[in-house]
Structure 1
């Protein structure tokens, strides 16, 4: 099976940028999967005032958010992921869009072939295929970075869903 990191497409420059979200959602709580502190209560924030904003399907900053359309794809393949609803409001255009903070299951799947930088960040991410049976959506336990990794089935479903603002980076598998 092939696996991919799901990322925001940086070619879309006019995307809706959430304001004040880092005051409501702590990055460390996301990274450490502190579900009790994060809770499932929805939050609402405004987006940066622009003439036009693209509400893309993946927003990486300040925390990774997926659109409701992508969450529906994830629900088909899901395996107990945590979701926190985040509503992005655009007061200038009197519009709201539903997104979700996702914290997938952490999987011990780091291959011995993975390489790290001196500061502990991942230099070369390699997954151990033998530890990934049945995993469609997950994050990797044992690394500092927070990536959402999806398998080829999920990628194909997203591609069929008429997505906007997503790119996929292939991950090595051993």
Structure 2
């Protein structure tokens, strides 16, 4: 089976950036048994003179998806929880709703993965085949990064819907 990492496409240079993500949503709480510690609705204020390009997937500060991508995720994980996030740009009088998916963390990261010296970023992702769950989408356990993986069928479903700003990178399996 083939698997793909879902990330924000770096070609979208005007994607929203918000500075206070860490203060408002602690990454440690983005698991089902701790999600109650995250507010049901969180507002992030955007700034800058440029008009933000509200793409379907944001993964730089937090892993956030639009309503349509959320619906695609639910096709593969019907019980997946989400927290609502509002990105507002007061100067431009714009707002976009995103959703923070609350995935179980799966320990399937291989020792063959290539990481930065401080192990904060996975440069080349390798998964252990025996530990991969039988789910269309899952999150790889990592202390610093949010790594969301799609099985081939889920990746194809995402590609068919022509989402903007979604990048799929094929993952090696050992």
TM over 0.5: yes
Q: Within 2, Cα distance between the matches of 1:87 and 1:71? A: 15
Count of residue pairs brought into register by the alignment: 173
Deviation at 1:103, TM superposition (A): 2.6
Query: Structure 2: how far apart are the matches of 1:20 and 1:120?
Result: 23
Q: CA deviation at 1:29?
A: 3.2
Unaligned 5+ segments in structure 1 are: none
Q: Who is 2:130 aligned against?
A: 130
1:47 matched to which residue of 2? Answer: 46
Q: C-alpha separation between the residues in 2 aligned to 1:16 and 1:116?
A: 26
Change (3 A) 1:166 1:128: same
Worse overlay, 1-10 or 83-92:
83-92
Name the SS of the counterpart of 1:12 in structure 2.
coil
Say yes or no: does 1:148 pair with 2:148: yes
**Alpha-carbon offset, residue 60 of structure 1:** 1.9
RMSD of Structure 2 on Structure 1 (CA)? 2.7
What residue is the counterpart of 2:98 in the other structure? 99
Q: CA deviation digits over 1:128-147, x for unaligned, max 9?
A: 22333521111123665321
Q: Structure 1, residues 41-73: CA drift from partner, whole Å, max 9, x if none?
A: 111222223342210111123212112211111
Q: Secondary structure at the match of 2:30?
A: helix
CA distance in 2, matches of 1:49, 1:160: 33
Provide the residue aligned with 1:15 in structure 2: 15
**What runs of 5+ residues in structure 2 fail to find an aligned partner?**
none
Give the distance between the partners of 1:117 and 1:96, measured in 2 at CA: 35
Q: Distance in 1 between matches of 2:16 and 2:111?
A: 39
Deviations 1:64-99 (A, max 9, x none): 211221111101011533311101123334332110
Partners of 1:109 and 1:132 within 8 A in 2:
yes
Over 3 Å counting, the alpha-carbon distance change for 1:33 and 1:149 in structure 2 is farther
TM-score (norm 2): 0.82
Give the match for residue 73 of structure 1. 72
